[in-house]
Amino acid sequence: MALIKTLLGKTPEFGENCFLAETAVIIGDVVTGSDCSIWYGAVLRGDVHYIRIGNNTNIQDNAVVHATYQKSPTNIGNNVTIAHGAIVHGCTIQDNVMIGMNAVVLDDAVIESNSIVAAGSVVSKGTVVESGTVYGGIPAKKIKDISPELLEGQIKRIAKAYGTYSGWYKEV
């Protein structure tokens, strides 16, 4: 079972049917929806502000989710993939979004629905990633619009796949 820690009177809360890997760390004011998965080495630290996560969201291995003290909470929507090693900090991520491996999303950024932040990118403070786009680079800029094939074939497929993968671990 993951390390789940109460801090400052706040205990993490989880929706139904969530998978929490044994080495995940979830602290303080963190609330998830149902059918979420938080993978090995991931850290969700709701110590300085809250973290809210929608349904069917996966936070993969070694990702970090944090916020800024009394200023910038972290809100993550439904059907979101936060890939391996990503850092999500004090920002808003809407529905059907993929944050690529080792990407960084900084304070007060907004990642609108149906978008991708490419692997290794840095989304600067206050940046708005427009709905239906792919952003990449350092700092992240618009690369292209998302086709329906990319939306279905990447964003929605990966979110659904992680629900399947987490089921394998629940059976063990």
pLDDT digits 0-9 by tens, 103-141: 999 999 999 999 999 999 999 999 999 999 999 999 999
DSSP H helices, the chain, are 148-150, 157-170
Report the chain's mean pLDDT, rounded to a whole number: 96
Choose among 161, 151, 119, 158: nearest CA to 138: 119
> Which residue numbers in the chain have pLDDT < 50?
none
Beta carbons of 76 and 52 less than 8 angstroms apart? yes
> 39-49 as b/e, with b when 16 or more CB fall inside 10 Å?
bebbbbbbbbb
> What is the rounded CA–CA span in Å between residue 81 and residue 100?
8
Run of H or E residues at 133: strand 133-136
pLDDT, tens digit, 9 for 90 and up, residues 135-144: 999 999 999 9
DSSP symbol at 114: S
> What is the rounded CA–CA span in Å between residue 9 and residue 96?
32
Cα–Cα–Cα angle for 60, 65, 66, rounded to 5 degrees: 170
Could you tell me the pTM of the whole model? 0.96
Structural domains of the chain, ranges and CATH numbers in brackets: 3-164 (2.160.10.10)
Residue type, 128: V
Torsion of CA 95, 96, 100, 103, to 10 degrees: -10
DSSP symbol at 153: I
